[in-house]
Structure 1
Amino acid sequence: MDQESSQDLSGAIAAWDWGVIALYFAVVIAIGVWVSRRTESGEDLFLAGRGLTWGIIGFSLFASNISSTTLIGLTGAAYDAGIAVSAYEWMAGVPLILMALIFAPIFLKSRITTIPEYLELRYDRKSRLYFSAVTIVLTIVVDTAGGLYAGAVVTRAFLPDIPIWQICVAIGIFAGLYTAGGGLKAVVFTDVMQAIVLIVGTATMTMILFSMNDWSWSNVTDNVSEGQLSIVQPRSNEILPWPGLILGVPILGFWYWVTNQYIVQRVLGAASLRDAQSGAILGGFLKILPMFIMVLPGAMAVSVLPELSNPDQVFPTLVAEVLPIGLRGLVLAGLVAAIMSSVDSTLNSASTLVVHDFVRNEVRDLDSKTERKYGRMTTLILMLIAIIWAPLIAQAGGLWAYLQQAFSILVPPVVAVFMLGALWRRTTATGAFTALIAGHAIALATFVLTQVGIWPLHFTTNIGLMVGVSMVILVAVSLFTEAPEKDVLDQTVWRPDEAVTDGNWSFTTVLFSIGALIAAMGAILILFW
């Protein structure tokens, strides 16, 4: 986001709006204090005692994914370049279906606490520690620090006299303290509230914008440029060409929704496989909502705010100029909720990775209270690192945009190692580690060549190609090394019968829900082709 071009919207916020925001903070504090008094062990802190139900999981998946950059970025992109980027939202149902059918059964059967822990069970400790270290670094310097910075830039539009670093400190300390105190349970409980606030607030703004277009979709389409309301874009498109829509978006989604600790931690804390599966499917349905309450409002805003030069100002300007008093505070509370939800989730997941993947080992085990202590200390330390790093992002300029594309380096070999590891019994530890190292090296080389103009493919298309390369390396090395033992495979490789849930939630119902989710995603693709 462009810090220098932020508008001063401080005069738009009335006392009633500040009252709504203050009420939100009071509720979050109350939840944090209540949960922290009931957090007695490391499992309580990291996995909410493995007692999360499907509704909480679904809403928490939605809320933890919607950051301030999502609200600002989706609305601004639709206003400026079109709705193609909405694919990252509504296509989340694809990897979440894979999570429900394939990976949730494996993860819950293995009783893992961290996603890298699965790599040790399936392969070896080297792969686990390598992937964990990469995830921790990216979580703190990209996700947590990026969330703090983006939230600070947006907050400055309404509080222009406060420096960026002071806002980063305030957000970081607030989110860090209640996360350290209550852990995942505090995070998911506040996530549910935050998700409801986000949905109600942005849906209300959407309806008001539609009314300002005389409740006419033709009026909306008449005010936008050709192709702005189309998801499928030509290969020359710089935002999301159609090959990237097919190859890049689902693969990036697989990494995010299946192997990313700060998202999957909610599934790992499920009370049962039924809760994990139905929570993932509910998350897929909720991820369709941003298309209608965050993306399309950007297109509707073209007729209402025709001359905004900075797309990042579309959302805060709509809040200030379109919404009435009170509702303005509700949506701003939603914006604060988005900031807090992304920051608290990343802090909790990173501390989980540090404690379970590096502090604990075969020689040094931890009792429940010691594990809780280390978890809280780690959360506070990582919070300080993110707070220090966040203001420095402003000095990176355009390099920060490249960091978002740098996920094209991380993702491909990870997808290859997890997907083939779960579905093909012949993959070996040597093959996995070789694929991770070589795949990241090759992906890094192509990323550099792309930045200097030598490699012609868009980074989303390149992701699909790099997954193929990583799979070839994994298969080739695995076939030339000794096959893993059968007892390891029985614990970590998927079997169709394991996807069948028990109790009242029959497998037929799971398949029906998945079919409905696929139909909804297909309808969006057809309507906005």
Structure 2
Amino acid sequence: MEKLFFEDKLIFIIYFLIVAGYGYYIYRKKKKAVTDTHDFFLAEGSLTWWAIGASLIASNISAEQFIGMSGNGYSIGIAVAAYEWIAAVALIIVAVWFIPVYLKNKIFTMPQFLENRYNKTVSLIMAIFWLFLYIFVNLTSILYLGAVAINNLVGGSPDQFHMIVIALSIFAILITLGGMKVIGFTDVIQVTVLIIGGLATTYIALTLVSEKFGLGKDIVAGFNKLLEDAPDHFHMIFKKPDANSTQQEINNYLTIPGLLSYVAGIWIVNLNYWGCNQYITQRALGADLNTARKGILFAGFIKLLMPVIVMLPGIAAYVLYKNGSLQQEMITGSKDGAVIADNAYSAILGYLPHGLIGLSLAALTAAIVASLAGKANSISTIYTLDIYKKYINKEASEKKMVWTGRITILAAMVISIIFTWDDILGIGGEGGFTFIQKYTGFISPGVFAMFILGMFWKRTTGAAAVAGVLTGFILSVVFNVFAPSWFGPETILYTAYKNNAGVYEIPFHICMGLAFGFTMLVMIVMSIAGPKINPKSFEIDKGMFKVSPGTLAMIVITLLIISMLYVRFW
């Protein structure tokens, strides 16, 4: 850690001691977590709304956001904020319509939802799939990206990278073994550190811009200079490319395809992630409806702030590089001297004063460890409740299941360490954010269709659910990989554009929308052949979806803020 001074190390050690000490205090305060599965996996009835909201954000924000989204801010600008701001709207939908269905039907895991609504076959297939996805894609990529980011920040070597991998894993395990209550309440500290450290980085980024142009240390002047010097980076909606479009404009559209992105793609990404994902919904499934809703909406408020923390430093890095600064930092690791956008965040961090580097390191660590802990707990929950208890040891006691959950956590972390050690999966070569999107995005249309129809259409059948998952996956692969070469770059359904490699590509969000639409059609047609009301359909009444005045006020405020942001940056 040769780049860290005494002040940085002291701040980081204080952060670690506070999180570890508070986690131990929470664990000792309620020893019931040792033997009660609902408390261990769900913290049933003990998480407050602010702990639920903070835990949702802590689990969501990790190295791929800090590094990947900041890199996207450098490359394409504010349009990438759509992921965060539409997420806030998606969280409203989840709070009002999804969570009541889960809580009324006493759903604790997503495979349980599938078994109760469809059948054991669908549940088992998806439980196994989610375990593989969470361990080999999410957990491993979070650990790898986190270790790379921290190693770059402290100027480490390959040997130090391996030490960081071990340290992050141990830190996450210590928190996770205490159960969801420990995770939930320590996440409050993690999010606080994340926000403070993130805002400090943004402050430095804007003052660097201000100083570069002789405007003093003025963050407002720095932000206004970004607007003036990079106006193309402050548009939410990209126009459809034409014959005169540059390759950069085409690349932007491939990432966020203008208004078409808002027709289906970005909604599928967010609603599937926030509403049909054990890793996320688990935080709210142990609470009462009012507490769960407030916690989810609180997370939505924090999501509005995330672009300021993870995206603005990327735009600042773009302006600084464009005007002669950060030249070496932006090409670090490049074999041909080309700019690496994912270096944007670490390039800004290099200018932090002593002490703030330690704070930013703590913020980055908080994001990584919270995500690792949340993912490991979800892996443990699905394996223990949906596989071990149902198929391996049906007579297992509460205490036996809790210990099984803990062993599962250790096993999952060991596997992720093995695959991270020498980057066996090639995450570094593909790019972490791309790696995660690639393997989760192919299955999202089918999974989301299966959940949305299962919740709100009583006619949906189990056979249709299996067909939906398979159809969604196959069509995602077809549209993302084969369609341009099979059917040509221009059809009634899509327009493909040449990417940097000169290969025709359909924008990812459009691929998701097409796969989702055809999957819904297949499931509806198959279900029409079945009974008018599936015996396993959920009971739903309008009263489930009524919200309290306080909840309604939070929803209205969120929607007004988002509306103003889109009006300003359209």
TM over 0.5: yes
* 1:233 paired to 2:238: yes
Deviation larger for 157-166 or 72-81: 157-166
Deviation larger for 56-65 or 233-242: 233-242
Q: Using the alignment, how far apart are the partners of 1:399 and 1:296 within structure 2? A: 21
User: How many pairs are equivalent?
Assistant: 508
SS in 2 for 1:481: coil
The equivalent of 2:133 in structure 1 is 138
- 1:345 Cα deviation (Å)? 0.7
Amino acid at match of 1:473: V
Amino acid at match of 1:392: I
The CA deviation string for residues 304-348 of structure 1, in whole angstroms up to 9 with x for no partner, is 453322222222222221x22222211110001011011111110
* 1:361 paired to 2:390: yes
The equivalent of 1:252 in structure 2 is 269
The equivalent of 1:56 in structure 2 is 51
Q: 1:495 aligns with which of 541, 556, 561?
A: 541
- 1:358 Cα deviation (Å)? 0.6
User: What aligned pairs does 1:23-38 form with structure 2 within 5 A after superposition?
Assistant: 23-37=14-28, 38=31
* 1:333 paired to 2:329: no
The equivalent of 2:284 in structure 1 is 267
TM-score, normalised to structure 1's length? 0.91
The CA deviation string for residues 29-84 of structure 1, in whole angstroms up to 9 with x for no partner, is 22343344422222221001332111111111111111011111222221233222
Q: Using the alignment, how far apart are the partners of 1:337 and 1:262 within structure 2? A: 17
- 1:285 Cα deviation (Å)? 1.0
Deviation larger for 47-56 or 394-403: 394-403
Contact 1:187 1:341 (8 Å CA) reproduced: yes
The equivalent of 1:444 in structure 2 is 477
Runs of 4+ in 1 over 4 A off after TM superposition: 450-455, 483-486
- 1:222 Cα deviation (Å)? 2.9
Q: Using the alignment, how far apart are the partners of 1:162 and 1:397 within structure 2? A: 16
Q: Using the alignment, how far apart are the partners of 1:146 and 1:261 within structure 2? A: 18
- 1:441 Cα deviation (Å)? 2.4
1:35–1:377 CA distance, 2 compared to 1 (3 A): farther
1:513–1:178 CA distance, 2 compared to 1 (3 A): closer
User: What aligned pairs does 1:299-448 form with structure 2 within 5 A after superposition?
Assistant: 299-305=315-321, 306=325, 307=327, 308=330, 309-321=339-351, 323-361=352-390, 364-390=394-420, 391-394=423-426, 397-398=429-430, 401=434, 403-448=436-481
* 1:208 paired to 2:204: yes
Contact 1:206 1:297 (8 Å CA) reproduced: yes
The CA deviation string for residues 191-231 of structure 1, in whole angstroms up to 9 with x for no partner, is 1101111111121232333334243243112332x521211
Q: Using the alignment, how far apart are the partners of 1:154 and 1:27 within structure 2? A: 23
Q: Using the alignment, how far apart are the partners of 1:451 and 1:405 within structure 2? A: 18
The equivalent of 2:115 in structure 1 is 120
User: What aligned pairs does 1:174-185 form with structure 2 within 5 A after superposition?
Assistant: 174-179=171-176, 181-185=177-181
Amino acid at match of 1:205: T
* 1:283 paired to 2:299: yes
Deviation larger for 120-129 or 237-246: 237-246
1:101–1:153 CA distance, 2 compared to 1 (3 A): same
* 1:458 paired to 2:507: yes
The equivalent of 1:472 in structure 2 is 521
The equivalent of 1:14 in structure 2 is 5
Contact 2:3 2:155 (8 Å CA) reproduced: no
The equivalent of 1:512 in structure 2 is 553
Contact 2:63 2:146 (8 Å CA) reproduced: yes
- 1:128 Cα deviation (Å)? 1.3
- 1:394 Cα deviation (Å)? 4.0
Gapped regions of structure 2 (runs ≥ 5): 241-249, 331-338, 490-495, 497-505
- 1:445 Cα deviation (Å)? 2.9
* 1:92 paired to 2:109: no
- 1:169 Cα deviation (Å)? 2.5
Deviation larger for 48-57 or 377-386: 48-57
Q: Using the alignment, how far apart are the partners of 2:529 and 2:96 within structure 1? A: 31
1:364–1:340 CA distance, 2 compared to 1 (3 A): same
The CA deviation string for residues 8-38 of structure 1, in whole angstroms up to 9 with x for no partner, is xx55421110111111112222234334442
Identical amino acids, percent of aligned pairs: 31
- 1:94 Cα deviation (Å)? 2.1
Contact 1:101 1:499 (8 Å CA) reproduced: yes
Contact 2:268 2:513 (8 Å CA) reproduced: yes
- 1:407 Cα deviation (Å)? 2.6
Contact 1:406 1:447 (8 Å CA) reproduced: no
The CA deviation string for residues 387-443 of structure 1, in whole angstroms up to 9 with x for no partner, is 111232347723863552333311001111111111111112222122122322232
Q: Using the alignment, how far apart are the partners of 1:500 and 1:403 within structure 2? A: 36
SS in 1 for 2:178: helix
TM-score, normalised to structure 2's length? 0.84
SS in 2 for 1:287: helix
Deviation larger for 468-477 or 208-217: 208-217
Q: Using the alignment, how far apart are the partners of 1:58 and 1:513 within structure 2? A: 13
- 1:300 Cα deviation (Å)? 2.4
The equivalent of 1:7 in structure 2 is none
Deviation larger for 51-60 or 363-372: 363-372
Contact 1:13 1:320 (8 Å CA) reproduced: no
- 1:149 Cα deviation (Å)? 0.4
Contact 1:175 1:343 (8 Å CA) reproduced: yes
Amino acid at match of 1:218: N
Contact 1:20 1:326 (8 Å CA) reproduced: yes
Contact 1:428 1:483 (8 Å CA) reproduced: no
1:493–1:520 CA distance, 2 compared to 1 (3 A): farther
The equivalent of 2:247 in structure 1 is none
Q: Using the alignment, how far apart are the partners of 2:191 and 2:13 within structure 1? A: 18
Contact 1:405 1:459 (8 Å CA) reproduced: no
Contact 2:150 2:361 (8 Å CA) reproduced: no
- 1:485 Cα deviation (Å)? 4.9
Amino acid at match of 1:285: F
The equivalent of 2:229 in structure 1 is 223
Contact 1:408 1:460 (8 Å CA) reproduced: no
Contact 1:223 1:302 (8 Å CA) reproduced: no
Deviation larger for 58-67 or 403-412: 403-412
The equivalent of 1:504 in structure 2 is none
